Amino acid sequence: MECPQLHKSGRNTNLGPGTTIEPAGLPNEESTLRLGFVFRLSPTRRPSIRVQLHPPTQYTTAMDEETQNPPVQPRRTFLAGMSAVFVGTVAALVPVLSGATSLLDPLRRKRNEAGMSRVTTLAVLPNDGTPKKFTITADLTDAWTIHRDAPIGAVYLRKVGEDVHALNVVCPHAGCFVGIAKDRPGFTCPCHKSSFDLAGVIDDPASPSPRDMDSLQVEVRNGDEIWVRFQSFQAGHTVKTPVQ
């Protein structure tokens, strides 16, 4: 037995060179998408691709029944339809909202309070103003783990006369680790070649960094102890905004 609808296909528009011609006398069935209309296919026939969309069963499904006995009360159908959409949406909203809430949690997280960290002493810094890299140690909360006195970042320190200047090692361009230049006094980022002088000021107009290296607050306490307020700043902007 064959389904009569097969022959009454709606649009048959696609007859370009790519059209699939159905083998063995089956009509060209390209663009109909009528789920559930076809049943009782002849097993000897080579099926066309759209057959997979139809439940190849000999049993009447709930869907078929509905189609065979179309509803007689349009208003009730409309109400039922609206209710179905409403009930379904409400039910689906619960997991979606719950999931979205938790996913958005990082937006309310704050960075660990940026306190002053004791880094080193004056005696260690070269008098000629050569920068040295130092690791900043502090307590670090990483989600469920607390690292006590862990290395959390690095700074360049250098003596400028009696003062000490501190620069965050992270490039304000895209966040790579800026290195001390080997060919001149200054810093170069190994990624996109941003170039800074010893004070962290951009020294090459072609430098892709939007701003100078980020300086940090330094205090010399008890005569020779160097303390730094270690902070990170949002990369990629001309304005230096702390990440909080």
Partner 1 sequence: MRALLDWFDDRTGARTLLRAVLFERIPGGARWRYVWGSTLTFAIVVQFVTGLVLWASYSANAQGAWESVYFIQHQMLGGWVLRGIHHYMAQATIILLVVHLMQVVIDGAYRAPREVNFWFGLGLLLVVLGLSLTGYLLPWDQKGYWATKVATNIAAMTPVVGESLQRLLIGGVDYGHLTLTRFFALHAGVLPGLLVLMIVGHVYLFRRHGVTTANTKDAPDGMFWPEQVLRDGVASLAVMLAVLAVVWATGGADLGAPADPTEPYAAARPEWYFLFLFQWLKYFPAGLEVVGAHLVPGLVFTVLAAMPIIARWRWGHRFNLATLAALLVTMAGLTRLAMIQDGADPEYAAATAESHAQAERMDILVTAQHGIPAAGGLALLRADPLTQGPRIFSTHCSGCHRVDGLDGLGGTPTDTQSAPDLAGFGSRAWLEGMLDPEQFGSPAYFGGTSHRRGAMSRVVERRIANYDDSQVAQLQRVIKALSAEAQLPSQALLDASDSREIEQGRLDMSSESIGCTDCHVFHGVNQEQRGPELTGWGSRTWMLGMLHDPGHADYYGEDNDDMPAFGMDEILTEAEMALVVDWLRGVWVREGDDATAQSRGDDVGGT
Residues 161-190 that bind partner 1 (CB under 8 A): 169, 173-179, 182, 188, 190
Residue 125 or 166 with smaller CB distance to partner 1: 125
List the Cα angle 184/188/191 in 5-degree steps: 150
Spatial contact of 200 and 194, defined as CB atoms under 8 Å apart:
no
DSSP H/E element including 63: helix 62-68
Q: Which of 5, 10, 12, 57 binds partner 1 (CB under 8 A)?
A: 57
Q: Which residues pair with 209 in a beta bridge?
A: none
Q: Is 40 in the site for partner 1 (CB under 8 A)?
A: no
In the complex with partner 1, the residue whose CB is nearer, 72 or 107, is: 107
Cβ-based neighbours of 24, under 8 Å, separated by 6 or more: 45, 46
- Residue 14 binding partner 1, by CB under 8 A: yes
Which of 34, 37, 210, 229: binder of partner 1 (CB under 8 A)?
210
Residues 218 to 237 in contact with partner 1, rule: CB under 8 A: 224, 232, 234-237
Site for partner 1 in 95-124 (CB under 8 A): 103-104, 106-107, 109-111, 118, 120-121, 123-124
The Cβ-side half-sphere exposure at 137, using a 13 Å CA radius, reads 6
